[in-house]
Amino acid sequence: MLLLTIEVTDRHAMKTLHSLQEKHLIKIAGDADINSPALPGSPLSLSAFKNWIAAAESMPSVSLKDAKTKWAAKRKKLLHLSK
């Protein structure tokens, strides 16, 4: 299982997500109270920003080629499911 947080700004996209939920392929959890520097919200202090950068730099990386390959497979699957 993979948990994603996304901001949907288009009605058509939301209909597609609801269609996937009806097929029991995804579960829409509703509004989540997530406080992340990557999302809109209150500004970080300088020390919190430095800690966030240090944590991000210590995480393992993924090559661009691997990321594109994984995304292509997921995209193909999602396109097939949304038809």
pLDDT tens string 24-59: 888 887 766 667 777 777 788 899 899 989 998 999
**Residues in contact with 37: Cβ distance below 8 Å, sequence separation at least 6, in sequence order:** 44, 48, 49, 52
How many CA atoms lie within 13 Å of 71's alpha carbon, on the beta-carbon side? 7
Residue 83: pLDDT over 80: no
The region, left, alpha or beta by phi > 0 then psi within -120 to 50, assigned to residue 45 is beta
Residue 3: pLDDT over 80: no
Q: Which ranges in the chain belong to alpha helices (H)?
A: 11-22, 46-58, 64-81
Residue 52 is classified by DSSP as H
Q: Which of 15-19, 69-73, 79-83 has the lowest mean pLDDT?
A: 79-83
